[in-house]
A and B are shown apart, each in its own frame.
Chain A
Amino acid sequence: MSGARNLWDNRLRADFRAALAVVALLAFVPLFVSSPYWLGVLIVSIYFALLSLGWNLLAGFTGQFSLAPAAFAMLGAYATGLLNYHLKAPLAIGIPAAIAGTALLGWLLGRIVLRLKGPYLALTTLSFAEIARVIIGNSYEFTRGDQGLNVPTLMQSRVGYYYLFLAVLLATLVALYFLMRARAGRFWLAIRDDATGAESRGIDVVRYKTLAFALSCAICGLAGSLYGTFSQLVSPELGLLLQTGLVISMVVIGGIGTLTGPVIGALLVYLSSEWLRSVGNIQLIVFSIVVIVFARFMRTGLWGLTR
């Protein structure tokens, strides 16, 4: 693509408008879909869209390949659940605490992995994710372990939950749009493209990488916390590597480094995954093949095809 359309502000604006159009379309879905089962599937799709946007901030915009988005969703869900279970904290405290707690943990993890790149960064975040999952699974006295932890619900209405998730998705997209338009967004792109070059221009790479880690983890923590209140039960399975694999598939298929890509990727992959469930438990095989095809032939994903 050439011409002024290729300028970052213009690319981002077009991308944001498309993402808003997807959200607007989703807002009409409950008018046509009344099945609680399919509304539930759509809510989980939006949960994955949030995780995908969180992971994409780190991997797509900042170039930091983490394998811990699902782990941070699990930690967000447990933060809310445990605060209620042990301290009877209401969700009005539990949800913000999940966001703040995962942001802080993300910031710490960001500081630890600051100098790591490529496979080393991926392996370190994978280790963190697995350690967090195993600790939660084995701390029966504190977390109820593999039996799972009950979390209070925000509301009984499934349609209400659908619109709550959609509103959070919209707010996340708006926040990411303004961040990516601002100084921070441009610095993240610079770090993604060439961290040494960014440093030589005067960009504080340490500060902006850790900021990206903290924000990405906070988005995942918020998604996990809301998911916990929706499902009313959280278990260590929420943090399985398999879940992170799904998130990566969604972003790669939808279009990495964009706002619209992760959203359409999450919707397509999760809805197809539900459809494939009826064919047989072959989702992972299918998505792995699709990811290989996209990584090889369509690196910009589905959204990239429109550029």
Chain B
Amino acid sequence: MSLLKAEGLTKHFGGVAAVDGLSLHVEDGEILGLIGPNGSGKTTALNLLSGFLAAERGTVWLEGEDVSGMTTVALARRGMLRMFQMTRVFPRISAYDNLLTAGLARGLAKRESEARAAALLEELTLSAVQYLDAGQLSGGQRKLLEFGMCFIAPPRLALLDEPFAAVHPVMRETMARFIRRRNEKGHAFLVVSHDMPIVVELCHRTACMNAGKLIAMGPTREVLKDPAVIEAYLGSGAHA
């Protein structure tokens, strides 16, 4: 049984099919990459999977349970958490308080949440800025903080939307290391990214979307050699 399975997900905006009959699955303990050119429907797919958008058609199962139409909050409580392309931290409270609040939201007791917040700040190299309001952190630090908020109570599956975009290489390595460590502990990820070296390095399998449709899915290196994927990224004739 797959950890997450989606079949036939469809969503239109106006007359345009943003996601058109998407089917994919994430296995337990796996990192699945989701790639595709701009406007291919990756973020909409993530919104459908995480309950931010309602699908017109299609079904989503989480650990075998039909979770189609469930709210984001209900999915978060089942352990499926979402990280956004534009970071969503709470800017007017400290980085430490952001983590503490995230822990409480996942049902942890305050003391437990405090202990985990301190450990995560250390691991994410954010201890020096823990007392600053999150709004004062750099873009990269905010992304790291959002990682911490996702993982204060380990999720069954983390959906990460462009976590490496516009981030300093050192911080990008911190994030990649964080994902690898968590994956070694058995946590699963669905990572949307344009950063191919990181996708190759991290993702066990990769799915590629174009114009709302899934055009390839399989082991990462094979998918990146797929002519349909090359054409979607570089245009027709690129692989000739």
Set of chain A residues within 8 Å of B100, measured between Cβ atoms = 8, 186
Q: Is the CB of B93 within 8 A of A193?
A: yes
Q: How far is the CA of A254 from the CA of B71 in the complex (A)?
A: 39
Residue of B nearest to A207 (CB): B73
Set of chain B residues within 8 Å of A7, measured between Cβ atoms = 94, 96-97, 131
Question: Would you call B84 an interface residue if the criterion is a C-beta within 8 Å of the partner chain's C-beta atoms?
Answer: yes
Residue of B nearest to A196 (CB): B88
Q: Mark A169-206, 1 if CB is under 8 A from B, else 0.
A: 00000000000000100110110111011111111110
Instruction: Name the interface residues of B76-132: CB closer than 8 Å to any CB of A.
Output: 76-77, 81-82, 84, 88-94, 96-97, 100-102, 104-107, 131-132
Q: How far is the CA of A187 from the CA of B100 in the complex (A)?
A: 11
Set of chain A residues within 8 Å of B81, measured between Cβ atoms = 200-202
Q: How far is the CA of A189 from the CA of B106 in the complex (A)?
A: 16
Q: Is the CB of B73 within 8 A of A205?
A: yes
Q: Is the CB of A6 within 8 A of B91?
A: no
Q: Is the CB of B132 within 8 A of A200?
A: no
Question: Would you call A118 an interface residue if the criterion is a C-beta within 8 Å of the partner chain's C-beta atoms?
Answer: no
Q: Is the CB of A200 within 8 A of B90?
A: no
Q: Is the CB of A197 within 8 A of B89?
A: yes
Instruction: State how many angstroms separate the Cβ of A42 from the closest Cβ of chain B.
Output: 33
Known: A7-B131, A193-B92. A201 touches B77 (CB 8 A): no
Set of chain A residues within 8 Å of B84, measured between Cβ atoms = 197, 200
Residue of A nearest to B155 (CB): A202
Q: How far is the CA of A2 from the CA of B94 in the complex (A)?
A: 9
Q: Is the CB of A200 within 8 A of B76?
A: yes
Known: A2-B131, A7-B96, A189-B93. A200 touches B88 (CB 8 A): yes
Q: Is the CB of A202 within 8 A of B90?
A: no
Q: Is the CB of B105 within 8 A of A201?
A: yes
Q: Is the CB of B91 within 8 A of A201?
A: no
Q: How far is the CA of A6 from the CA of B133 in the complex (A)?
A: 8
Q: How far is the CA of A201 from the CA of B71 in the complex (A)?
A: 12
Q: Is the CB of A189 within 8 A of B50?
A: no
Q: How far is the CA of A199 from the CA of B74 in the complex (A)?
A: 10
Question: Would you call B60 an interface residue if the criterion is a C-beta within 8 Å of the partner chain's C-beta atoms?
Answer: no
Q: Is the CB of B88 within 8 A of A194?
A: yes
**Which of B89, B97, B106 has a CB less than 8 Å from the CB of A8?**
B97
Q: How far is the CA of A6 from the CA of B52 in the complex (A)?
A: 32
Set of chain A residues within 8 Å of B183, measured between Cβ atoms = none
**Which of A4, A189, A204, A257 has a CB less than 8 Å from the CB of B90?**
A189
Question: Would you call B72 an interface residue if the criterion is a C-beta within 8 Å of the partner chain's C-beta atoms?
Answer: yes
Set of chain A residues within 8 Å of B93, measured between Cβ atoms = 8, 189-190, 193
**Which of B76, B92, B96, B132 has a CB less than 8 Å from the CB of A201?**
B76
Q: Is the CB of B73 within 8 A of A187?
A: no
Set of chain A residues within 8 Å of B102, measured between Cβ atoms = 201
**Which of A8, A192, A193, A203 has a CB less than 8 Å from the CB of B105?**
A203
**Which of B82, B105, B106, B131 has a CB less than 8 Å from the CB of A190?**
B105
Residue of A nearest to B98 (CB): A190
Besides A201-B106, A202-B81, 19 other A-B contacts (C-beta < 8 A):
A8-B100, A186-B101, A189-B90, A189-B97, A190-B90, A193-B91, A193-B92, A194-B89, A196-B52, A196-B88, A197-B84, A197-B88, A197-B90, A199-B76, A200-B50, A200-B52, A201-B76, A202-B76, A202-B107
A-B contact pairs, 26 of them (CB 8 A): A2-B132, A5-B131, A6-B132, A7-B96, A7-B97, A7-B131, A8-B93, A8-B100, A183-B104, A186-B100, A189-B101, A190-B90, A190-B101, A190-B105, A192-B92, A194-B88, A194-B91, A197-B90, A199-B72, A200-B52, A200-B72, A200-B82, A202-B77, A202-B105, A203-B73, A205-B73
